[in-house]
Amino acid sequence: MVFALLSWGVFGALLTGRAVFGWRGRTALRWTFIGFVMLLLAYIVSRFVVEVLLGRIG
């Protein structure tokens, strides 16, 4: 849940940076990549909690 909320914040900052500061190219790519990695971590951690810690299958 924490990584998912943080990724929303990152993507919100990306949209704000593009509108206010005109972020393009590498700067926008970095923010997008950071948001993607956070969403990936949120997925992996949630699957770990459900399957390993709670012992549920899929």
Q: Domain range holding 30? A: 2-53
Asked whether residue 27 is assigned to any structural domain, the reply reads yes
pLDDT of residue 38: 94
Asked whether residue 40 is assigned to any structural domain, the reply reads yes
Asked whether residue 46 is assigned to any structural domain, the reply reads yes
pLDDT band at 58 (very low <50, low <70, confident <90, very high): low
Domains identified in the chain, total number = 1
Long-range Cβ pairs for the range 35-43 (8 Å, 24+) = 35/7, 35/10, 35/11, 36/7, 38/3, 38/4, 38/6, 38/7, 38/10, 39/3, 39/4, 39/7, 41/3, 42/1, 42/2, 42/3, 42/4, 42/7
Asked whether residue 23 is assigned to any structural domain, the reply reads yes
Asked whether residue 31 is assigned to any structural domain, the reply reads yes
pLDDT tens, 3-57? 889 999 999 999 999 999 999 999 999 999 999 999 999 999 989 988 888 887 7
Asked whether residue 58 is assigned to any structural domain, the reply reads no
Asked whether residue 13 is assigned to any structural domain, the reply reads yes
